[in-house]
Amino acid sequence: MRYSCFNPTSGLYDLYEDSTQLPVNGDLPVPKLASQAGKVGVPAIDCGRPLPVEARHVGTSWHADGFIVQCRGQLSGYDESPGSTSLLWIAGAAAAAALVYVLLRKN
């Protein structure tokens, strides 16, 4: 089977493939999707099927091929590497504290 995962950094789809085969007119197993799945306007990269663990990268393309899936470690193009979100929160808290300090010091 072929799977496509949009890469917002390059603007292309990363293509993956695994050895899964379905019979003609066969359905994929029903996955456990995020709670937002099925709601209007939710992009497939946020609530699509997860990319199978055994899928291997086979290339890139301007167009999706096969099933559009959630990318490994990626959600709406945001980096989810360990610590990236916490660093963002720390930077935001530091900026807010600096702003409060400046405002209180003026009064």
d(CA 79, CA 76): 9
Sign of CA dihedral 27, 32, 38, 41: negative
CB 46 within 8 A of CB 7: no
Residues 59 and 86 in one domain: no
Band of residue 14 on the pLDDT scale cut at 50, 70, 90: very high
d(CA 54, CA 70): 14
Report the share of the chain in percent with pLDDT over 70.
65
Supply the range of the domain harboring residue 96: 81-107
Q: Are residues 25 and 62 in the same domain?
A: yes
Domain match, 70 and 85 both: no
pLDDT at residue 62 tops 90? yes
- Report, as an integer, the average pLDDT of 49-63: 88
Domains: count for the chain: 2
Is this prediction's pTM over 0.75? no
Residue 81 pLDDT > 60: no
**Pick the residue with more confidence: 45 or 102?**
102
- The pLDDT value recorded for residue 61 is 92
Shared domain for 66 and 95, answered yes or no, is no
CB 60 within 8 Å of CB 15: yes
Same-domain pairing of 55 and 98: no
Q: Are residues 92 and 72 in the same domain?
A: no
Do 41 and 93 lie in a common domain? no
Question: Residues 72, 85: one domain?
Answer: no
What is the C-alpha to C-alpha distance for residues 95 and 2, in angstroms, rounded to an integer?
Answer: 44
Are 47 and 23 contained in the same domain?
Answer: yes
Confidence class for position 58, pLDDT limits 50, 70, 90:
very high
- Residue-level pLDDT at 16: 93
Are 72 and 90 within one domain?
A: no
